[in-house]
Amino acid sequence: MAQEFSEILREYLQENGLTQQAFANKINVKQAQVSEWLKGKAKPGYDNLRQMAIALEISAEYLLGLKDEY
Contact predicate 43/37, CB 8 Å: yes
- Higher confidence at residue 10 or residue 2? 10
Residue 50 — pLDDT band, cuts 50, 70, 90? very high
Q: Which pTM value belongs to this model?
A: 0.86
Residue percentage of the chain with pLDDT more than 70:
97
Residue 49 burial (10 A CB sphere; 0-12, 13-18, 19+) = middle
Q: Which CATH architecture has domain 5-63?
A: Orthogonal Bundle (1.10)
* Structural domain boundaries in the chain: 5-63
Amino acid at 39: K
